[in-house]
Structure 1
Amino acid sequence: MSMTETADGPKPRRRLGREERRRQLLDVAWKLVGEEGSDALTLGRLAERAGVTKPVVYDHFPTRPALLAALYRDFDERQTTVMDAAIEACATTLPDKARGIASAYVDCVLVQGREIPGVIAALASTPELQATKREYESVFLGKLRAWLAPFVAGGQLAVASLLVLLGAAEALSAAAAGGEISPEEAKDELMAVIISIVCR
Structure 2
Amino acid sequence: MSSTLKNRESTGRRIRLSREQRLSQLLEVARWLIRDEGTDALTLPRLAEQAGVAKPVVYDHFRTRNGLLTALYQDFDARQTALIDAALEGSASVLQEKASVIASSYVECVLAQGREIPGVLAALAGSPELETVMRDYQLDFIERCRKALAPFTGPRGIMQAGFWAMLGAADTLSHAAATGEITAQQARDELYETIVAMIERSNR
Q: TM-score, normalised by structure 2?
A: 0.86
Report what 1:176 is aligned to.
177
Identity %: 55
- Mapped to 1, the partners of 2:195 and 2:70 lie a distance apart of 28
Task: State the 1:3 CA deviation.
Answer: 6.5
Give yes or no for contact 2:10–2:52 (8 Å, CA) kept in 1.
no
Report what 1:15 is aligned to.
16
Give yes or no for contact 1:123–1:133 (8 Å, CA) kept in 2.
no
**Are 1:114 and 2:115 an aligned pair?**
yes
Report what 2:95 is aligned to.
94
Task: State the 1:177 CA deviation.
Answer: 1.9
Task: State the 1:69 CA deviation.
Answer: 1.6
143-152 or 131-140, which deviates more = 143-152
- Mapped to 2, the partners of 1:155 and 1:91 lie a distance apart of 24
**Are 1:126 and 2:127 an aligned pair?**
yes
122-131 or 170-179, which deviates more = 122-131
Give yes or no for contact 1:149–1:155 (8 Å, CA) kept in 2.
no
Task: State the 1:155 CA deviation.
Answer: 6.3
Structure 1 residues 42-121: aligned runs within 5 Å: 42-121=43-122
- Mapped to 1, the partners of 2:64 and 2:156 lie a distance apart of 43
94-103 or 13-22, which deviates more = 13-22
Task: State the 1:176 CA deviation.
Answer: 1.6
**Are 1:197 and 2:198 an aligned pair?**
yes
Give yes or no for contact 1:114–1:174 (8 Å, CA) kept in 2.
no
Give yes or no for contact 2:62–2:68 (8 Å, CA) kept in 1.
yes
1:132/1:3 CA distance change after superposition, 3 Å: closer
Structure 2 segments unaligned to the other structure (5+ residues)? 1-8
Counterpart residue identity of residue 125, structure 1: G
- Mapped to 2, the partners of 1:151 and 1:172 lie a distance apart of 24
